[in-house]
Chain A
């Protein structure tokens, strides 16, 4: 295949993104599996037992990366949705829509693992504490976005309305977080920060970072796969999709 020269926006064309993503997805799956195995091995077998919480703390290796991903993915989704709206970039809107279910899944995972962790440590599945509540509201924001874009049949309107909602939501996330925080707080303070020295054993930190990278790779793999599906769905009228389907689709 004689390819045109690579430019910054080359892969903004859905057809070329489709090829690139198709090539990258297997590698992301390999990275996901390798990093998960390494991270869970270090987390479950090498990291020391916590002095106060015993073995129960080990769920942190899934809980904290999932919580990070849930917040990050919302911002990434709002960013791409905004780009898609502002610059009429079709692919960016498709990526934003592909991110939403994965973000909601990580939010749910963070809440669920948090509940499992809370039972032995706090003695209850759920407390109405600042971070739990704002994570729950984040889940509602994801669900609202997904429900809105799916309720609108017109693709263009769905993308733009979703972008507006995602941007309004991302402005609101810090406001919600701080209002819930002043409302009630009992959660343990953030254990990892970029400025202070980490207060946890370095093996624990390694395991957590490995798991974070694994979740990143997973998110890329799933989002790219989903974006590919959306690309094919929306570009069904294009010649290259018909070629792809081997002439099985309507021209």
Chain B
């Protein structure tokens, strides 16, 4: 099972390394979407500082959801997904490896780009640290739930919009605690409660979501 996990993960990373521009798209989307907000709401520094954690989270959410749609699509189109599901190892390994690959290719670049965003929005050091820590705990949740949505909507017309509609409600707790942690730090309070809850959400999702994704893959490819 570990071999299958590693094989699928490394395969996805290798595929992404052959299509570098494709794998940069989510992080570019993230930055572009974020830079729309000062244009939309006005360049007042205090207001931008106040809304920064929330919009960073929302843009990270959208970047994850828009990129996760293609997670299984290529493998479905060329038939390799069915071959992987025929492997004697449980499909959970595939689901977990795909989610991990998505996080490495989307979540991690977003986190790396976030300090830059912090500069754009004038976030203070501690607030930026809280934002990064929250994203580090929260973006894996987005990848795990996004993979579930991608598996459920595999091969459907208008799959992209549908995926966003069914996954976004499930990700709201992560958004609340992730953005809440930064607000707490900015208000001079401790954010450890928020981080504990995010960590708990991550553990729960990591245990449950690959199972559901595996079931969804079986349903969708039957």
Contact = CB atoms under 8 A, between A and B. Distances in A.
A144 B165 contact: yes
B177 A148 contact: no
Nearest to B148: A168
A72 interface: no
Interface in B126-178: 148, 152-153, 156-159, 162, 165-166, 168-170, 172-173, 176-177
B156 A151 contact: yes
A172 B166 contact: no
A179 B159 CA distance: 28
Interface in A179-226: 179-180, 182-183
A49 interface: no
A150 B197 CA distance: 35
A175 B204 CA distance: 11
Interface in B95-135: none
Interface stretch (B19-27, B72-80, B208-216): B208-216
B162 A147 contact: yes
Nearest to B201: A175
B173 A176 contact: yes
A164 B156 contact: no
Given A144-B165, A148-B152, A175-B201, A164 B172 contact: no
Contacts of A137: 169, 172
A157 B219 contact: yes
Q: Which bracket fits the contact residues of B?
A: 20 to 34
A240 interface: no
A68 B170 CA distance: 21
Contact of A161 (B152, B157, B165, B172): B152
Contact of B176 (A157, A168, A169, A180): A180
A109 B32 CA distance: 38
A140 B165 contact: yes
Contact of A179 (B157, B165, B173): B173
A165 B166 contact: yes
A156 interface: yes
B180 interface: yes
Interface string A153-182: 000110011001100110110011001101
Contacts of B159: 151
A143 interface: yes
B176 A179 contact: yes
Contact of B168 (A140, A161, A175): A140
B220 interface: yes
A172 B197 CA distance: 14
A152 interface: yes
A137 B169 CA distance: 6
A150 B72 CA distance: 21
A124 B166 CA distance: 29
A156 B222 CA distance: 10
Contacts of A172: 169-170, 173
Contact of B170 (A147, A157, A164, A168): A168
Contacts of A152: 156
B219 A160 contact: yes
A164 B149 CA distance: 11
A140 B152 contact: no
Interface of B: 148, 152-153, 156-159, 162, 165-166, 168-170, 172-173, 176-177, 180, 197, 201, 204, 208, 212, 215-216, 219-220, 222
28 contacts: A144-B162, A144-B166, A145-B166, A147-B162, A147-B166, A151-B159, A151-B162, A152-B156, A156-B222, A157-B219, A157-B222, A160-B219, A161-B220, A164-B152, A164-B212, A168-B208, A171-B208, A172-B169, A172-B170, A175-B173, A175-B201, A176-B169, A179-B172, A179-B173, A179-B176, A179-B177, A179-B197, A180-B176
